[in-house]
């Protein structure tokens, strides 16, 4: 692998090409920079896959079948112009800049770790931050034929690997009532705001102390201050650690019924990303611990997190998945986003050795798990 200074130059090149998910032209420009950096390091150009106007990149390394999927994204949450306030800098061992931690440093790590290997697919998507709407099928397709998926999302606190991610479900609860004059004859109306309040309280009871969160978020109702509201709605964000919990809440959400006479309730939406359960990452995490010990690196720690990633999708199709293998730092999506420079070489060495072990063949602890899945 090349030296740290080269890695930092490559991260800077990616960070300084801004790539907000919502700007298709910016994502396309970023894809060209990512392609150039990756091609220089890997010695082969990627396929450019444009879906719904979003540019994704796929490298297939070597002539044989691919066993390991390395997964990342190059879009960010930062709008164009963010570099003016948050320039890319390296000072006192800390690299800063919009998108450096989540997750452009992870892409550079993947390029360095995969260079010269045979049997690896490296997929870099351009819409992860907005829910992988165009790339989801592509991610799932690649995962189904891989023995393992290694996700280069940034680490959890202290460099922990992400061995669990909650599944995500998204809903809109729509309430229909009947309008009436609020002063003259409110009794002739069916108050959608009141029904909405009943439904918010009902939804709130669906959370579970084991870790399932059910959160009513954006809400709206009514049109004017002197009219009994005829309609209203609110959004619901659900995070669940297991598929069983995700399904329990889904059934309960669609079973909601109105409380007020003549009111109507409609629930739309459902599971968006399945959970990355601990069972999907357990073998890979143990392998990572053994690899770290062999390399003389600190023993990896594990973390369960509430946020989703494309690792949810790879685990959802049955592929063993380990997430959070990217940069160590903090401040994702925030003004203090940063990467700890001294951690980059060790993390990249861990990733490289982990991939090499997975490519061994008959001694691969996950051998046989790469068959196509439904």
Our CA angle for 119, 167, 59, nearest 5°, is: 20
To the query of whether residue 128 is one of the catalytic residues in this protein, the response is yes
8 Å CB contact between 273 and 266: no
Sign, CA torsion 155/158/164/170: negative
To the query of whether residue 102 is one of the catalytic residues in this protein, the response is no
What is the three-class DSSP state of 264?
strand
Alpha carbons 47 and 137: distance in angstroms, whole number:
16
Q: Is the peptide bond before 103 cis (omega within 30 degrees of 0)?
A: yes
Which of 10, 18, 127, 128 is catalytic? The answer is 128
Which of 75, 102, 153, 357 is catalytic? The answer is 75
Alpha carbons 217 and 110: distance in angstroms, whole number:
36
End-to-end, the C-alpha distance of the chain in Å comes to 37
Compute the residue count for the chain: 374
Task: Give the bridge partners for 321, in sequence order.
Answer: 149
Distances (CA, A) of 63 to 149, 200, 329, 344, 362: 19, 55, 36, 29, 19
Our CA angle for 213, 198, 203, nearest 5°, is: 15
Strand ranges, E, within the chain: 47-51, 54-61, 68-73, 89-91, 94-96, 120-125, 148-151, 161-165, 167-176, 180-181, 213-221, 227-228, 231-240, 264-273, 302-305, 321-322, 329-330, 338-340
Alpha carbons 351 and 148: distance in angstroms, whole number:
13
What is the three-class DSSP state of 200?
helix
Residues known to be catalytic: 75, 128
């Amino acid at each position: 692998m090349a030296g740290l200074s080269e890695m930092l130059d490559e991260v800077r090149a990616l960070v300084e090409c801004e790539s907000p998910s919502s700007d298709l032209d910016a994502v396309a420009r970023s894809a060209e920079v990512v392609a150039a950096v990756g091609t220089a390091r890997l010695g082969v150009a990627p396929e450019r896959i444009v879906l719904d106007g979003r540019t994704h990149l796929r490298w297939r390394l070597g002539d044989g079948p691919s066993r390991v999927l390395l997964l990342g994204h190059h879009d960010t949450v930062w709008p164009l112009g963010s570099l003016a306030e948050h320039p890319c800098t390296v000072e006192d061992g800390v690299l800063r800049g919009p998108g450096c931690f989540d997750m452009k440093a992870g892409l550079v790590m993947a390029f360095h770790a995969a260079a010269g290997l045979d049997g690896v697919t490296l997929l870099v998507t351009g819409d992860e931050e907005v829910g992988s709407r165009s790339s989801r099928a592509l991610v799932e397709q690649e995962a189904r034929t891989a023995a393992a998926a290694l996700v280069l999302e940034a680490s959890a606190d202290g460099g922990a690997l992400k061995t669990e991610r909650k599944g995500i479900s998204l809903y809109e609860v729509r309430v229909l009532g009947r309008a009436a004059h609020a002063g003259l004859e409110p009794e002739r109306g069916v108050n959608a705001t009141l029904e909405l309040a009943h439904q918010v309280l009902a939804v709130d009871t669906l959370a579970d102390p084991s870790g399932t969160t059910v959160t009513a978020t954006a809400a709206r109702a009514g049109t004017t201050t002197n009219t009994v509201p005829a309609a209203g709605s609110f959004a619901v964000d659900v995070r669940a650690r297991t598929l069983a919990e995700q399904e329990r809440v889904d059934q309960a959400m669609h079973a909601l019924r109105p409380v007020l006479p003549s009111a109507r309730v409609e629930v739309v939406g459902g599971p968006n990303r399945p959970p990355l359960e601990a069972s999907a990452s357990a073998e890979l995490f143990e392998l990572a611990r053994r690899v770290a010990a062999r390399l003389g690196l600190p023993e990896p720690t594990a973390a369960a997190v509430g946020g989703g990633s494309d690792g949810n999708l790879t685990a959802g199709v049955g592929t063993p998945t380990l997430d959070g293998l990217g940069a160590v730092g903090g401040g994702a999506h925030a003004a203090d986003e940063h990467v700890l420079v001294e951690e980059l070489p060790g993390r990249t060495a861990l990733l490289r050795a982990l991939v090499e072990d997975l490519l061994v063949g008959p001694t691969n602890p996950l051998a046989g798990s790469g068959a196509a899945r439904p």
